[in-house]
Amino acid sequence: MSLLYSFPPIADANARILILGSMPGQASLDAGQYYAHKRNLFWPIMAELLQFDVSASYEEKTAALRASGVALWDVLQSCQREGSLDANIKPDTLTVNDFAGFLQRHHQIRHIFFNGEKAAACFHRYVAKTAYPAELVCQRLPSTSPANASQTLDFKLQAWRQIVEV
């Protein structure tokens, strides 16, 4: 089993919010794009909240995030995992991204939202032990993954509305 690597962050200097996933799924890794699985609700939710066309190109979608002050990244830089499920991440293989450096470069970020439980758990276990700004507000949101099918789109959309209310 080979090591999987996440993508660079999508962020610019005006970022105020950071959304963190755990690690891209196989469809995303294959496409080289965040949230590329056709049933993942991340882009439909962002399109609704940030008022852009969900059928826009990936470049246009990521530009809409940046224009809205939203940065996107993953907690994990690398890991081994069979398939796409977070539950299959092998804990002894994971490496986290450099959050100290990222937050230093993006000092306007005041809110971190986690796309699901695994992202929140990994961040709190492996990153929060290190120093990061005390003024950061961290909150877990329901996963947009198709594996989280027990929650409806409406439920997820209501929960995710918080990112435009901060």
What 125-132 contacts at long range (C-beta under 8 Å, 24+ apart), as own/partner pairs, is: 126/75, 126/94, 126/96, 127/75, 127/96, 127/99, 130/99, 130/100, 131/100, 132/99, 132/100, 132/103
- Poorest-confidence range of 10-14, 36-40, 134-138, 160-164? 134-138
Instruction: Taking residues 113-118, report their average pLDDT.
Output: 95
Catalytic residue status for 97: no
pLDDT of residue 147: 85
Domain regions of the chain by residue span = 4-165
* CA–CA gap between residue 58 and residue 88 (Å, rounded): 27
pLDDT (tens digit per residue) in 39-51? 999 999 999 999 9
Mean pLDDT of 21-48: 96
Q: Across residues 86-104, what is the average pLDDT?
A: 88
pLDDT over 70 (residue 131): no
Angle of helix 153-160 versus helix 42-50 axis, rounded to 10: 50
What's the pLDDT at 91? Answer: 81
Across the range 11-19, mean pLDDT stands at 95
> Which of the following is catalytic: 40, 88, 97, 148?
40
Would you state the pLDDT for residue 112? 96
**Topology, domain 4-165:** Uracil-DNA Glycosylase, subunit E (3.40.470)
Average pLDDT, the chain: 92
166 or 163: whose pLDDT is higher? Answer: 163
Whole-number Å distance between alpha carbons of 25 and 105: 27
Q: Is 80 exceeded by the pLDDT of residue 82?
A: yes
76, 97 Cβ separation under 8 angstroms: yes
